[in-house]
Chains A and B, each alone.
Chain A
Amino acid sequence: MSAVDVRNVSKHYGAVTALDRVSLAFPNGSFFALLGPSGSGKTTLLRALAGFVEPDEGMIFIDDQDVAHIPSFRRNIGMVFQNYALFPHMSVFDNVAFGLTVRRLPRAEVRQRVTKILELVRLDGLDRRKPRELSGGQQQRVALARALVTEPRVLLLDEPLGALDKKLRQDMQGELKRIQRTVGITTVFVTHDQEEALTLSDHIAIIDEGRLIQVGEPGDVYDRPHTRFAANFLGDANFLSGSVRDSGIMVDRLGYIATTSPLPAGEATIAVRPERIRLMAPDTATQDNRIEGRVAERVFSGASLTYTVDTDAGPLRVLRQNADGDVIDIGDRVALVWLADHSVVVED
């Protein structure tokens, strides 16, 4: 069963199409990432779920009710804003209690539910502070508690970790996942950070130019990108193009590259992840695919190194773990080898 179901939703701003017939089902209890570059329409989709954007066409179901034209305040959603949007004139307690007091719940119940949710986000004891007296991470937790306390049907997060520094962001990723699992709420979040999408979510939708490019579990989308854009946006990729022959392609000046993906007729493009290619000495044994080249560039990033290898078909990037500390020198000849399984056919 889907908690949230978007069917054929379009939104235009003048001549600009922000959403182009997007259909997307968000399974109950899933942690769903909407991933795309800025201006891709991912935020418009989230705001359409929240009720801040009214779609021109299509339907949006939350628990089998079409809410496409129902105002935000009747949708029973929870939302965490990019800058948190805490009410500056209210204490932490009043911020969190807001959703309950506008529903006119009895005072004792409000107090009990706010106390409980503040414990969940580990903010107990700070309930009398004003938002400006809190750190960024604490403000984030208040925003989360405020969104969850009303027990909404869906939780929406707009780049929730964007305003935090890297270390804090990693901590909050763990927290967010723990809280989402504890509450079991269907969660949709928008991000342009592919790493965040991969670590946090159990489903990813890649969006570009108002269109849905690919939907799936993070591992599937990463291993089997459908398009060049998807391969490039979620992770890094090398691309090789050529004419189809047998179960592979013939690349100009390079030769035959094998794949296990189904191939179209005529021309095809193959994507290979930099970490799936192994660098070997020039004369060693081969895997399914083997090409030779010369190391042109080396970027050291601590746990790993990225080599750029000049081949007859242009430069290819290879990622290598810094496991035993052996470093290949610039100018060395190397063989690049990988399995046919790791040659993924993508649409251009």
Chain B
Amino acid sequence: MNQARLTVLVSEGAGRLWLFLVLVFLYLPILVLAVMGLNDSVHYTLPFTFTTRWYEDLASNERLLQASFNSVAVALANTVIATILGTMAALAFARYRFRGRTVLQLLLFPPITIPWLIIGTSMLVLFFWTGIGRGLHAMLLGHVALSLPYVIIVVGARLASIGPDLEEAAASLGATPFQSLVRVQIPVMAPGIVAAALFAFAVSFDQFVISYFLAPPGVSVLPVEIFSAIRKGFTPEVNAISTIMIVISMTALLLFARLSKFGGER
């Protein structure tokens, strides 16, 4: 074996090792979390003894189940509302020239970078002042506001890669703007819309700060509930519910990655 081949092999090996380390860094905490959810010890001590009791306990933990249900409900409602509104806004930005368009487009970005703590505080103040108050409805409102920029940017990127040609082609063939939207633009935008919907779901489902601020006593969502559970003293039930959520969200993501190869690709 000559020197050059050896160098190539070594650098390939190093590359693989690096990739492996990155994956370990990303997934080891999650793996530990999942494994500890199946360990019998309340205090996370070894040796490992397999049990499903934390999952069984979970079934009777009303608070955690109610919080999970709230989380999923708010996230789904947020996904639907933010995706529809955001797609409409992205279409307007991409296809129409109107006064203030550039300024509005620029204003999309600050909410992504402003700390959630500040946004949460200002929402709390605003909602009190306007009488919207706290509760799941306020949370939903806050989440929609937070998700919109992500949806607009993701769908907008897809629209920019499509260009106005297809819309013009549809119009030249006699399609009304509505027919063109339903039969051409939405199907072609579909991968972008699905990606944006996933973003919107994740933004809401992960959201702690705003949910915490806007949750009245007695109403909770999963991140808030997990936080207060940790403060009171951790039990592996939290590991169990977290594992379930991770499995659900990763399945959704993998499904999307698989499905997005079909349909609207050019």
Chain A's interface size range is 20 to 34
Q: B190 to chain A: closest CB distance in Å?
A: 8
Do the beta carbons of A81 and B168 come within 8 Å of each other? yes
Chain A residue numbers with a CB within 8 Å of B169 are 79, 81, 85-87
A102 at the interface (CB under 8 A from B): yes
In the complex, how many residue pairs between chain A and chain B have their CB atoms under 8 Å apart? 74
B62 at the interface (CB under 8 A from A): no
**CB nearest to A72 among chain B residues:** B171
Interface residues of B in 232-266 (CB under 8 A from A): 263-266
A89-B264, A132-B266 given; A52·B175 CB < 8 A: no
B183 at the interface (CB under 8 A from A): yes
Separation of A304 and B174 alpha carbons in the complex (Å): 48
B33 at the interface (CB under 8 A from A): no
Do the beta carbons of A52 and B188 come within 8 Å of each other? no
Do the beta carbons of A72 and B168 come within 8 Å of each other? yes
A88-B264, A89-B187, A102-B183 given; A73·B165 CB < 8 A: no
Separation of A89 and B190 alpha carbons in the complex (Å): 10
Q: A83 to chain B: closest CB distance in Å?
A: 7
A78 at the interface (CB under 8 A from B): yes
A99-B173, A102-B179 given; A85·B265 CB < 8 A: no
Do the beta carbons of A78 and B176 come within 8 Å of each other? no
Separation of A236 and B187 alpha carbons in the complex (Å): 49
Do the beta carbons of B166 and A98 come within 8 Å of each other? no
A67 at the interface (CB under 8 A from B): no
Separation of A83 and B168 alpha carbons in the complex (Å): 12
Separation of A169 and B157 alpha carbons in the complex (Å): 34
B170 at the interface (CB under 8 A from A): yes
A6 at the interface (CB under 8 A from B): no
B172 at the interface (CB under 8 A from A): yes
A150 at the interface (CB under 8 A from B): yes
Enumerate 19 A-B pairs (CB-CB under 8 Å) in ascending A order: A51-B171, A51-B172, A73-B171, A73-B176, A76-B174, A78-B172, A79-B168, A79-B172, A81-B165, A88-B265, A88-B266, A89-B190, A98-B170, A98-B173, A98-B183, A99-B173, A102-B173, A102-B175, A103-B174
8 more CB-based (< 8 A) A-B contacts, given A72-B172, A81-B168, A87-B166: A51-B172, A52-B171, A73-B170, A79-B169, A88-B188, A89-B187, A102-B173, A147-B173
